[in-house]
Chains A and B, each alone.
Chain A
Amino acid sequence: MDGEAAGEVVAPGRVAITPAAAEVVERMRARHGPVVFHQSGGCCDGSSPMCFPEGDLIMGPQDVVLGEVAGAGFYMTSAQYRLWEHTHLTVDVVPGRGAGFSLEAPDGIRFLIRSRLLTDDEAASPAAAPVA
């Protein structure tokens, strides 16, 4: 998380990415430089992860970083994470159209979250030490 803003790693191993989505992250990085994800809520294109150039969205103390996928930090607000912390997330990509200001949309694709419940082992695993 070098150079990234506030946020502590709260869910190591609880966010993953599919190979297809990882390829898109690489493509976005080649085009735009380092990128991050921020999980969006609310209407329209919400409830999906937004992919932005790193530093574009200013992260603050209200955000946590769950971990890193394909070299990109995965953030959400701590208020939302409290509602999500019992689930394991996988960033996937599907054909789509429209995504707020997320970077991948012009390619006719959209990042999407697939979720499952944590296994008992995952749920029991200790959280990593907070990262400043």
Chain B
Amino acid sequence: MAAYPRPTRGPGPSDFAERYDNFIGGKWVPPVTGEYFDDIAPLTGQPFTKIARSTAADVDLALDAAHDAFPAWSRTSAAQRALMMNKIADRIEENLEALAVAECWENGKAVRECLAADLPLAVDHWRYFAAAIRAQEGSAGVIDEDMVAYHFHEPLGVVGQIIPWNFPILMATWKIAPALAAGNCVVLKPAEQTPWSILKVMELIADLLPDGVLNVVNGFGAEAGKPLASSDRVAKVAFTGETTTGRLIMQYASANIIPVTLELGGKSPNVFCADVMREDDAFLDKALEGFTMFALNQGEVCTCPSRALVHESIYDEFMERATRRTEAIVSGDPLDPATMIGAQASNDQLEKVMSYFDIGREEGATVRTGGGRRTVPSDDGAYDGGYYVEPTIFEGSNSMRVFQEEIFGPVVSVTRFSDTDDALRIANDTLYGLGAGVWSRDGNTAYRLGRGIQAGRVWTNNYHAYPAGAAFGGYKASGIGRENHKMMLDHYQQTKNLLVSYSPDKLGFF
């Protein structure tokens, strides 16, 4: 199959307009200051459209609209909300290919990933929470013969959500779907690297939701994110990003005494036990793919398996094959469905990855493959200015900075371990605890490792699967709360308890 045509200025389903306003109260509203900023295509390094550069005044307009919408929205039945969410899922699914191309263009990821993962998962996520809210029930606790404790779920109100750029549509969906399902109204601030693809979704689904239920305000973190996160008119803030901004958001929330959920990344270990190499079979093939998952989405995944721990007895042979597998990653036009890796999302991400190549080498890590920029040829040279990096394998020790910091590039740092205790020691020697991988043919070993690793998600004999219904979230500095599971409804709901006495008799105190 040939590459998809590049999006261009025009009316096509993957094409872009000259500029984009905010989506507030069901309408497209220009930014109060009248300013816009460039949206840059990572494949080319060139700006392609302009996006509203919002400030506190725009956030206020969105909060006004959300608060206006909330009383009616909060009273809709779960069935009504679920129906709308299922329609949204259908609409996205009908336009899956066009949205995949748009997301590829804006984020830089390979379109095969948008087609096979980002968009189908987003569609399913809407359906999952549509189902979950239908099935959710309150409870009636019989305290004693005369007293009953009724528990009702109630929405929090208007919530603020600040989402990342690595999976622009899917991460938005992870946050929006449970919030709307639970009856909240949302003000969403997309990442300034990827403000457009979610607006393409909004164009498609605008008619399916009442005005003001879902509002999108674009702009920079310091100018639009901060007023949203610190507003005394939001009942909760959800954020995915890095630790320092996560801390700031908690701090603002503390001033307002509201809850936060935070997903702040990790440095996920991927552990390969000796028995992985016992047979040369489908399982080994799967494990080698699991190793290579560090390059998925150019490594721009909070759970990137960016540390590989390989048992010393298989190290040389396993790494030889893992290196071959890594070198077989197909580079090329990210709009070609055969291409396996795309561009980093922004120039600063590219520069950051390159800076880690420098410090990794200085610290004595060995570059087994990769270690530099990558070029993607094209007939017209359009991709010469894109942000491409070679899939890179470092070998070294866990105290090196390339083993301790999230590089957010297609980079894995590999070391050896001697036994299960050693593997756990290394795996847990990190500030973070979001994801991990364990590969073993022995169920007991895999279980011990999985329970011992301090991380919210331990993929066991698989990696980078994100099905709705599997809770996702961090231990340690990786954050607070869980996503991707019906328990997340609880993160967007109050518990109302009606404690009812059915006794006619007084207590007798007064």
* A positions within 8 Å CB-CB of B: 38-48, 50, 52, 56-58, 79-80, 83-84, 87, 94-103, 105-106, 108, 110, 112-117
Contacts and interface: CB of A to CB of B under 8 A. Distances in A.
Counting chain A CB atoms within 10 Å of each CB, which of B38, B222, B265, B399 scores highest? B222
14 contacts: A40-B242, A41-B405, A41-B477, A43-B266, A45-B242, A46-B243, A48-B348, A57-B251, A96-B347, A96-B351, A97-B347, A100-B242, A105-B221, A112-B352
A98 B266 CA distance: 19
Counting chain B CB atoms within 10 Å of each CB, which of A38, A83, A97, A117 scores highest? A97
Interface stretch (B113-121, B152-160, B356-364): B356-364
Counting chain B CB atoms within 10 Å of each CB, which of A43, A87, A99, A103 scores highest? A43
Given A46-B241, A48-B352, A105-B222, A41 B431 contact: yes
Given A41-B243, A41-B265, A57-B248, A46 B347 contact: no
B230 to A, nearest CB: 10
A48 B53 CA distance: 23
Contact of A113 (B220, B244, B355, B363): B355
B226 interface: yes
A-B pairs, 6 with minimum CB distance = A43-B265, A96-B348, A46-B242, A42-B265, A100-B245, A40-B244
B242 A110 contact: no
Contacts of A115: 355, 358-359, 362, 401
B225 interface: yes
Interface string B210-234: 0000000000111101100100000
B195 to A, nearest CB: 10
Interface of B: 37-38, 40, 53, 164-166, 191-193, 220-223, 225-226, 229, 240-248, 251, 263-266, 300, 302, 346-349, 351-352, 355-356, 358-359, 362-363, 399, 401, 404-408, 431-432, 477-478
Nearest to B171: A44
A114 B244 CA distance: 19
Contacts of B405: 41, 47, 83
A31 B266 CA distance: 34
A96 B349 CA distance: 8
Contacts of A40: 242-245
Contact of A44 (B223, B242, B432): B242
Nearest to A86: B363
A100 B244 contact: yes
Counting chain B CB atoms within 10 Å of each CB, which of A42, A99, A101, A116 scores highest? A42
Contacts of B192: 97-98, 105
A44 B191 contact: yes
B241 A42 contact: yes
Nearest to B429: A83
Contacts of A96: 346-349, 351
B221 A99 contact: yes
B109 to A, nearest CB: 14
B243 A97 contact: no
A48 to B, nearest CB: 6
B231 to A, nearest CB: 14
Contact of B248 (A44, A87, A98, A101): A101
A113 B264 CA distance: 19
Counting chain A CB atoms within 10 Å of each CB, which of B244, B263, B347, B406 scores highest? B244
B406 A43 contact: yes
Nearest to A52: B248
Nearest to B404: A83
Counting chain B CB atoms within 10 Å of each CB, which of A40, A79, A98, A102 scores highest? A98
Given A42-B265, A106-B53, A50 B245 contact: yes
A56 B226 CA distance: 11
B359 A57 contact: no
A102 B221 contact: yes
Nearest to A41: B243
Contact of B359 (A45, A110, A116): A116
Given A45-B245, A105-B220, 20 more contacts: A41-B406, A41-B432, A42-B243, A42-B265, A42-B478, A44-B191, A44-B242, A44-B300, A46-B408, A47-B408, A50-B244, A57-B248, A57-B251, A94-B348, A102-B222, A105-B222, A113-B355, A114-B355, A116-B359, A116-B362
Contacts of A84: 401
A39 B405 CA distance: 12
